[in-house]
């Protein structure tokens, strides 16, 4: 195929052109695919966490029950305490050998922020043994760890 001529014969040859229609079709199909799949990649994974059944925790006379009620009050073995006293007691517990287990019981209505603050205070004080107390569904409401 000729793209043009320098001769003056007056007869012009058709210029070669790239057919863009198949390229545009492919690009539109890819665009539609990306438009459909992009939102699927940005959504968070929905997880339905299972409820675990556990055996009741053994009675440990040295275990410390740290309770957070729905009103935000903190209890140390059923005795109400403030934040400053909590930090002092956690520091004292971390010095004991062997360390007693700190069992954290938090009401379901307690904000996660408050639970995280208590966990951070225990960690910064040096408490090594921290457990969470739950109520399994199958045991009729007995406390378990």
Distance CA 136, CA 53 (A): 5
Closest of 19, 18, 16 to residue 1, by C-alpha: 16
Q: How confident is the model at residue 68 (pLDDT cuts 50, 70, 90)?
A: confident
How many domains, the chain?
1
Q: Is the pLDDT of residue 127 over 60?
A: yes
123, part of any domain: yes
The CA-atom distances, in angstroms, between 72 and each of 77, 81, 96, 102, 121 are 16, 11, 28, 18, 16
Q: How confident is the model at residue 144 (pLDDT cuts 50, 70, 90)?
A: very low
Q: How confident is the model at residue 133 (pLDDT cuts 50, 70, 90)?
A: confident
108, part of any domain: yes
Q: What is the pTM of this model?
A: 0.53
Strands 74-76 and 130-132: unpaired
Q: Is the pLDDT of residue 88 over 60?
A: yes
Distance CA 104, CA 64 (A): 8
CATH code of the domain covering residue 97: 3.30.420.270
103, part of any domain: yes
Q: What domain range includes position 115?
A: 64-132
């Amino acid at each position: 195929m000729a793209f043009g001529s320098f001769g003056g014969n007056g007869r012009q040859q058709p210029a070669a052109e790239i057919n863009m229609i198949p390229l545009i079709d492919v690009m539109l199909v890819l665009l539609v695919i990306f438009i459909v799949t992009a939102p699927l990649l940005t959504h968070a994974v929905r997880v339905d966490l299972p409820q675990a059944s556990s055996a009741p925790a053994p009675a440990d006379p040295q275990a410390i029950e740290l309770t957070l009620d729905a009103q935000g009050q903190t209890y140390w073995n059923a005795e109400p305490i403030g934040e400053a006293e909590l930090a002092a007691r956690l520091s004292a517990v971390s010095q004991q050998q062997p360390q007693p287990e700190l069992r954290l019981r938090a009401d379901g209505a307690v904000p996660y922020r408050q639970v995280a603050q208590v966990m951070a205070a225990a960690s910064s004080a040096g408490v090594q043994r921290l457990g969470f107390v739950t109520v399994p569904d199958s045991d009729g409401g007995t406390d378990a760890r």
